Each structure stands twice: as C-alpha cells, then as structure tokens.
C-alpha cells in the first residue's frame, strides 16, 4: 500500500472519483434508495432521515457566511421540489417527479441513467451547467460530483440532488457553487497540479462564456467570505485557482 502519506493521498483523491470517497460517503449518509415498481426503477428520498440533518450540521455552522444552508427537513424538501419543478429544459435537466408526500416529506422520482461528473472529462459541461443555473436565478449550495449525471446519449446534464438550492440574485451564493466545485476538483487532482489547472481553465472559461454575468461571480471569489473553503484547498491548488481567476478577470477587462 506504500507509505501512510501515499495511502492518505489515494483516499483523498477519491473525492472526485466515482469509485472513491465521495460515493462511499454518499452511501453512508444517503436519504435516497432505489425502489422497483412494476419492474421499473425509481428513486425514493426521505427528508426526515436523521442522517439528512446530521450531514448538514458542519456546512451550516462553518460556511453559513457564504451560503444559506438549512437543517430543516421541511425546508430541504421544499427547496428540492421548487428546483425540480422549475421547468428545466435544454442542456440542464432534472428527474421527473412521480409523487410527493408533504406529511412524510418523501418524494418518488424517475431513475436517471448516466455518468457522474468527471473533472477530467466534463469540466466544460459542469461550467456550462452552473452558468445556466445561475443565469436563471438559482444557486445549488451542494455541487459535489455525485449530484450531477451526464447523459451521453442526449448531451444533457441532470441535477439529481438540489435540497440546498435557493432562488437568488446574490453573487456570493453563486460564487459558493464555483468555489466548492474548485474544492472538490482540487482533491480529485491532488497529485497532479497541471490537470487541476486544466480543469480550472476549461471550467471557468466555459462558465463565463455561457453567461456574461459570470465574470462578476468570479470577482466575488476574492471576498473574505470564502476564506474558510479556500483554507481547506491544498496550498498549491488554491494558488493556482487565485492565479487563473485573476488572469481571466484581467483578460475580460481588455475585451
């Protein structure tokens, strides 16, 4: 297995890998399960599950200055319903809701076939999806890779978890989505800074290409509100993030 440092590096790199740490954590703290009805697969989500509250305690405490997280099962249920029923069309899609239970706080939705966002392959798709979501007046709050599925056959990105999403025009909330994406990608590319830099270039440039308002979001990243999330990005990677964001902002001044 190698040295303890190598083992730790291998574990942390799993944050952005389908076979790594993020999916494992998702299974441990999941509020969702696959159910089969009449031979067809669906996803049932229960917002009253205790794990659904526990998992949101750390970000609510540590990062509330950057994003309006909520612990309330009812509020998370409402936020997800609002996002899923917004009427997404085009590149960004959501699963169709089959049924909802406001007393039990449960939803049943269609099961989506697709691949989890991969930072090496889908950087532009992620940038475009976030830009379109932000352009329409939403922020997601939780942008871990397993919350997105890429449907290769139809060239759509599906958002399959939006329980912390909010309607907002606040640049800070949208910048949080960008900062958190950079955080997850930094650990997916922990041992290869050049790959991380390439991800940032493609992700951020596609983001502002798709939405001209995105440049204001990138400028917001310099706010002290994001000090907490940047402190836990590996040092070489956070320097790369700062340099690339600054370079893109400077380039846009000359356009």
The tokens of 212 are what? 């001209």
End-to-end Cα distance, the chain: 51
115 CB contacts (<8 Å, ≥6 apart)?
Answer: 18, 149, 150, 152
In angstroms, rounded to a whole number, what is the distance separating the alpha carbons of residues 201 and 14? 22
Give the side-chain half-sphere CA count within 13 A for 160. 30
Q: What is the pLDDT of residue 32?
A: 81
Q: What is the pLDDT of residue 1?
A: 44
117 neighbors 125 (Cβ within 8 angstroms): yes
Task: Per-residue pLDDT tens, the chain, 255 aa: give them.
Answer: 454 444 444 444 444 443 345 555 555 556 788 899 999 999 999 998 767 678 899 999 999 999 999 999 999 999 999 999 999 999 999 999 999 999 999 999 999 999 999 999 999 999 999 999 999 999 999 999 999 999 877 689 999 999 999 999 999 999 999 999 999 999 999 999 999 999 999 999 999 999 999 999 999 999 999 999 999 999 999 999 999 999 999 998 876
In angstroms, rounded to a whole number, what is the distance separating the alpha carbons of residues 95 and 88? 10
What is the third-level CATH fold of 4-253?
Transferase(Phosphotransferase); domain 1 (1.10.510)
In angstroms, rounded to a whole number, what is the distance separating the alpha carbons of residues 83 and 86? 5
In angstroms, rounded to a whole number, what is the distance separating the alpha carbons of residues 148 and 6? 29
Domain boundaries, the chain: 4-253
In angstroms, rounded to a whole number, what is the distance separating the alpha carbons of residues 178 and 32? 26
> Is 190 buried (19+), middle (13-18) or exposed (0-12) by CB count in 10 A?
buried
Q: Which of 132, 128, 97 is nearest to 112 (CA)?
A: 97
Q: What is the pLDDT of residue 235?
A: 96
What is the 8-class DSSP label of residue 120? T
Q: What is the pLDDT of residue 153?
A: 73
Number of neighbours of residue 37 by Cβ within 10 angstroms: 10
């Amino acid at each position: 297995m190698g040295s303890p440092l190598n083992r730790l590096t291998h574990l942390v790199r799993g944050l952005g890998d389908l076979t790594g740490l993020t999916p494992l954590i998702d299974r441990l703290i999941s509020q969702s399960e696959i159910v089969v009805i009449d031979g067809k697969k669906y996803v049932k989500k229960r917002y009253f599950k205790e794990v659904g509250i526990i998992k949101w305690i750390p970000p609510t405490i540590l990062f509330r200055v950057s994003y309006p997280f909520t612990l309330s099962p009812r509020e998370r249920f409402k936020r997800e319903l609002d996002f899923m029923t917004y009427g997404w069309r085009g590149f960004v899609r959501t699963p169709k809701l089959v049924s909802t239970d406001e007393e039990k706080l449960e939803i049943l939705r269609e099961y989506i076939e697709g691949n989890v966002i991969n930072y090496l392959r889908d950087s532009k798709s992620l940038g475009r999806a976030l830009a379109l979501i932000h352009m329409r007046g939403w922020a997601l709050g939780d942008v871990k890779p397993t919350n997105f599925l890429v449907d290769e056959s139809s060239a759509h990105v599906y958002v399959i978890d939006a329980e912390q999403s909010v309607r907002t025009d606040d640049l800070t909330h949208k910048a949080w989505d960008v900062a958190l994406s950079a955080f997850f990608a930094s650990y997916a590319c922990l041992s290869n800074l050049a790959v991380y830099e390439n991800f940032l270039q493609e992700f951020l440039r596609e983001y502002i290409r798709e939405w001209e308002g995105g440049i204001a979001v990138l400028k917001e990243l310099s706010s002290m509100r994001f000090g907490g999330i940047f402190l836990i990005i590996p040092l070489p990677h956070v320097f790369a993030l700062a340099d690339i964001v600054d370079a893109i902002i400077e380039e846009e001044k000359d356009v």
